[in-house]
Amino acid sequence: MMSLAAPTDWLIGYIADLPTPFDGSDELDLNAFATLCERQIDAGASAIVVGETAGEMSTLTTKERLRLICCAVETAQGRARIIAGAGSNSTDRAIELTTRAEHAGADAVLSVVPYYNKPTQEGMVAHFRAIAASTALPVILHDIPARTVRELTDATLSRLAESAQFIGLLDRTGSIARSARLRPRLPRYFRLFTAMTPLRQPTWRPAAMAAFRR
């Protein structure tokens, strides 16, 4: 697990958002998942995202999420960082997933704007600050309004970024100009990510996050 005080230099380059494989009995196929992890590590991924968008986080049980995190941690053996999807539209549920991810050995968590509930900006601030207060792990925010129906505004992001525990934003708004607009408003260490999913991607190929720094 990464120390909060450690630099975020590892948050650059290619970060793989892995799918969650199942076998013919609808059970997690951890051997296949470990192979996916190895493939991305061999390709030079600086980190691996477990149980998030490509991993169909909303359909995974808590036990399944933890098994995936433990498998990724055991497979990586420090060769790549492990970012655990730990978001939820329920603050209590997000806190539970975050603390369990920390105990399982994750290096950071990716936490999405609460979906379905349509929270206010103040509600988002309270939600994410409660999550951060529950863990020593760094938190990467995930803004995907097409799924959540609420956008994390620039002003709200700036408020959250005042805490060094929030280390990055995965921006899925589709705005090309947003990164340039946000960069001057955020701390130097804060990372901005875009997500790229190849067209006609084979079933084994995960989506990717590309990180940019100042």
Q: What is the pLDDT of residue 12?
A: 83
Q: Which of the residue ranges 6-20, 118-132, 160-174 would you say has the lowest mean pLDDT?
A: 6-20
Phi–psi pair at 196, nearest 5 degrees: -130, 125
Q: What is the pLDDT of residue 176?
A: 84
Mean pLDDT of 140-159: 95
Query: Tens digit of pLDDT for each residue in 48-92?
Result: 999 998 888 888 999 999 999 999 999 999 999 999 999 999 999
Q: What is the pLDDT of residue 209?
A: 55
Is the entire prediction scored with pTM above 0.85? yes
Tokens encoding 128: 């994410």
Bridge pairing between strands 207-212 and 191-196 = antiparallel
Query: Tens digit of pLDDT for each residue in 188-201?
Result: 999 998 875 433 33
Is the dihedral angle over the CA atoms 145, 150, 155, 157 positive or is it negative? negative
Rounded to an integer, what distance in angstroms lies between the CA atom of residue 64 and that of residue 68?
6
Q: Domains of the chain by range and CATH? A: 13-212 (3.20.20.70)
Query: Tens digit of pLDDT for each residue in 12-41?
Result: 888 999 999 999 999 999 999 999 999 999
Note the Cα 4 to chain centre separation in Å. 16
* Widest CA span in the chain: 50
Q: What is the pLDDT of residue 105?
A: 97
Q: Is pLDDT at 6 greater than 50 in this prediction?
A: no
Q: Is 175 left (phi over 0), alpha (psi -120 to 50) or beta?
A: beta
Q: What is the pLDDT of residue 196?
A: 53
Q: What is the pLDDT of residue 212?
A: 39
Helix then strand then coil, in percent of the chain rounded to 5, is 35, 20, 45
Q: What is the pLDDT of residue 13?
A: 82
Q: Is pLDDT at 167 greater than 60 in this prediction?
A: yes
Q: Is pLDDT at 113 greater than 90 in this prediction?
A: yes
Mean pLDDT across the chain = 88
Mean pLDDT of 127-146: 97
**Nearest-CA neighbor of 83 among 60, 63, 104?**
104
Contact 10, 28 (CB under 8 A): no
